[in-house]
Structure 1
Amino acid sequence: MTKAIFPGTFDPFTVGHYSVVRRALTFIDEIVIGIGINDNKNTHFPIAEREAMIRDLYKDEPCVSVQAYDSLTIDFARQVGANLIIRGIRTVKDFEYEETIADINRKLTGIETILLFTEPELSCVSSTIVRELMGYGKDVSMFLPEGMNTSHE
């Protein structure tokens, strides 16, 4: 059985993230969406709210689970028994960063990283931009997966 983690801050979880999970499920048996706790990031949604939003989105998908973590990604992968890390990349800059991290993770643990290129029509979508638009009261529904409820309390 192939088990992977898909790590990120996911603030918020966008159509780009959704696309990566959907596509990865065609060759991965189980995906744990790992919401990393990163104190260096200025997040919009509290961790519990992000976890609930993503869990609701995948409530009918038994091959996807959601879990927050506060450790190195490779330690989280080992903790949940994952043998792969899935990452999405939008740009050359993303690729260079992800390649470096993937190389380090493989050297430290032997865990491989699979990089999925963003679908071209989604390459402009980033959580940072969506957060900024939300801060100005703009409708961001086109950038969020259908059924994503951002009003968890």
Structure 2
Amino acid sequence: MSTAVCPGSYDPFTLGHRFVVERAAARFERVVVAVVVNPNKKGMFGIEERIALIERDVADLPNVDVRSWTGLVVDLLTEEGADTMVKGLRSETDFAYEIPMAQMNRELTGAETFFMLTDPRYAHVSSSLVKEVAKLGGDVTPYLSDHIHSALIERIEGVLRA
């Protein structure tokens, strides 16, 4: 069975992320969306919240599983029986950032990284930018599924009230 892992922080999971996962799901028998835990960062959403939001967002993709991971992503590939990592690329900046990691992952375990170009509608979208625009009152509905947009706005309003 061909299995691929799509790692990321996904804080929040955008339609650009969804685009890459959907395309991976069409090409691999199983896709694991890995919410990677970075103990040095505090996200807007906790890990379990992100998993629940993503699971709801990809519920229509029966071959996609969502889980968290702490540590080297290549170790997750080994645990999941995968030999492929799928990463989305928005621009040449993403490519330049990802290449050394892909090369290191190949050297460590033989894992290959497949790069997928995102839909041009989302080439300028990042989770960080979406959060910043939303915090300042901008409209981010074109970049998020409805339930993730609602969760983001609710979280921002809760922070502002606190």
Provide TM-score, normalisation by structure 1.
0.91
Amino acid at match of 1:96: A
Question: What is the CA–CA distance in structure 1 between the aligned matches of 2:39 and 2:150, rounded to whole Å?
Answer: 21
SS in 1 for 2:32: strand
Q: Which runs of 5+ in 2 are unaligned?
A: 156-162
Q: How does 1:2-151 map to 2 (within 5 A)?
A: 2-148=2-148, 150-151=150-151
TM-score w.r.t. structure 2 length?
A: 0.86
Q: Secondary structure at the match of 1:45?
A: coil
**C-alpha contact (below 8 Å) 1:15/1:143 kept by paired residues:** yes
Deviations 1:51-70 (A, max 9, x none): 10001112232200000111
Q: RMSD of the alignment, in Å?
A: 1.8
Deviation at 1:40, TM superposition (A): 3.0
Cα distance per residue 1:79-120 (max 9 Å; x no partner): 121121000011111101111111100011001000001222
Greater Rg by CA: 2
Q: Distance in 2 between matches of 1:130 and 1:75?
A: 30
The offset of 1:149, in angstroms, is 6.0
Structure 1's unaligned 5+ residue stretches are none
- Amino-acid identity (%): 37
Q: How many residues align?
A: 153
